[in-house]
Structure 1
C-alpha cells in the first residue's frame, strides 16, 4: 500500500523563469534572452546563469503569465519564431512543472546575426 503524505508543492517564480529561459534557448531562431532595457534601448544577451532576468513570471487567477524578452536571428520569420517559442515554453512549463500556463508574451528586443 503506497504511503500518501498530504502536503503542498510550491514552485517559485524563479524556477519557472529558469525553465522558460532554457526552453527559449532551444527554439530555432532565438539567439538569446535579454534583460528588458527601456532606458537605453540596447539589448544585451544574458549568460545562461542569469536567464531569469529576461523572463518575468506572474501568477494569475487562471494560471501563470510569462513575459519573455528575446533577441532573434536575422533572416528568420519573426511571427513563426514567436509562435514556436510560445508553444515550446507552454509545453515545458506544463510538462515539467505541472503548472497551468495562461499566457506567454514574447517581446523581441533585437535582431542579430549569429
Structure 2
C-alpha cells in the first residue's frame, strides 16, 4: 500500500502489516497461538514468534485494510471476549504504526487447546 506525501512515497507491504497484526494478536490474553491460514488435512500447526504472520491475511478494499486472523484460543476462556480483545489490539496497533485505516478485522477460531 502506498502513502503519498509532499516529501515522497511510503510503500508498506502486506507482509509488514501481517507482522504487526500477528504480533499484536499474540499479546492478547487467552490466545495460544496463530494457525496457518491454509490448513491442510485437518492438521493444525501452532504458529508463534516469527511465523505468526502466516496466520494473518491482509486485503485492501477502498483504501482501507481488511485483516483476517486465524487463531487458536485457550480452553475455559470465553471466546467472544478473547476475539474482542484481539480485534481492539490489532486495530489499534496497525492504525498507530502504519497510519492506515482498518475497515474490518475477522477472527477465525480454528481450534481450542487445553
| Deviates most, 48-57 or 65-74 | 48-57
Give the number of the structure whose alpha-carbon radius of gyration is greater: 1
Q: Secondary structure at the match of 1:50?
A: helix
- Answer whether contact 2:72 2:110 (CA < 8 A) is retained: yes
Match of 1:24 in 2: 25
Taking structure 2 as the reference length, the TM-score comes to 0.89
Query: Structure 1-normalised TM-score?
Result: 0.89
> Bigger CA drift: 47-56 or 92-101?
47-56
1:56-67 pair list within 5 angstroms? 56-67=57-68
Alignment of 1:1-114 (within 5 A): 6-113=7-114
Query: Which ranges of 4 or more aligned residues in structure 1 deviate by more than 2 Å?
Result: 36-39
Q: Flag structure 1 segments of 5+ consecutive residues without an equivalent.
A: none
CA RMSD after TM alignment? 1.5
1:39 deviates by 3.6
